[in-house]
Amino acid sequence: MKVYNNNKLIKKRKTLSQVVLYFSMAMLTLGFLWSLSDNNKSQMTYAYLILIPAYLLVQVSIFMANKWGRSPRPDEILVSSLKGMSNQYALYNYMTDVPHLLVGPAGVYLILPYYQSGVISYNTDKQRYEQKGGPKFFAKTFAQEGIPSIEKEDKDLIKDYLNYLQKNQISINVEPQVLNFYYAEKVELRTDNAPEVNLTPDKFKDFLRQAAKKSGLTEVEVKQIIEQLPVPTD
Among the listed residues 167, 172, 153, the one whose alpha carbon sits nearest the alpha carbon of residue 225: 172
178 closest CA partner among 97, 111, 98: 111
CA–CA gap between residue 91 and residue 221 (Å, rounded): 16
- Helix and strand element counts for the chain (H, E): 7, 9
Give the Cα separation of 104 and 115 in Å (integer). Answer: 25
Provide the CB-side half-sphere exposure for 130 (13 A, CA): 10
Q: Is the pLDDT assigned to residue 72 strictly greater than 50?
A: yes
The pLDDT score that the predictor gives to residue 177 is: 95
Say if residues 218 and 201 touch (Cβ distance below 8 Å). Answer: no
At how many degrees (to 10) do helices 204-215 and 74-81 cross?
60
Per-residue pLDDT at 43: 64
* Residue among 99, 114, 91, 89 at smallest CA distance from 160: 99
Q: pLDDT digits over 98-128, tens only?
A: 999 999 999 999 999 998 889 999 999 998 9
Average pLDDT of the segment spanning 51-78: 80
pLDDT score of 52? 77
Which of 19-33, 37-51, 64-78, 179-193 is predicted least confidently? 37-51
Average pLDDT in the chain:
86
Cβ proximity of 92 and 164 under 8 Å: no
Asked if pLDDT for residue 18 goes beyond 90, the answer is: no
Which range among 10-19, 55-64, 123-132, 145-154 shows the weakest confidence by mean pLDDT?
55-64
Examine residue 195 and say whether the peptide bond preceding it is cis (omega within 30 degrees of 0).
Answer: no
Q: Does pLDDT of 142 surpass 80?
A: no
| pLDDT bucket at 143, cuts 50 / 70 / 90 | very low
Whether pLDDT at 38 is above 70: no
Given strand 177-182, what is the order of strands in its sheet? Answer: 2-5, 90-93, 100-104, 107-114, 177-182, 197-199
The one-character DSSP state at 202 is: G
What letter represents residue 179's amino acid?
L
Count CA within 13 A, CB hemisphere, residue 155. 5
Rg (CA), the chain: 21
List pLDDT tens digits, range 182-226: 998 899 999 999 999 999 999 999 999 999 998 779 999 999 999
Q: What residue spans define the domains of the chain?
A: 2-69, 74-226
User: Cα separation of 65 and 67, whole Å?
Assistant: 5
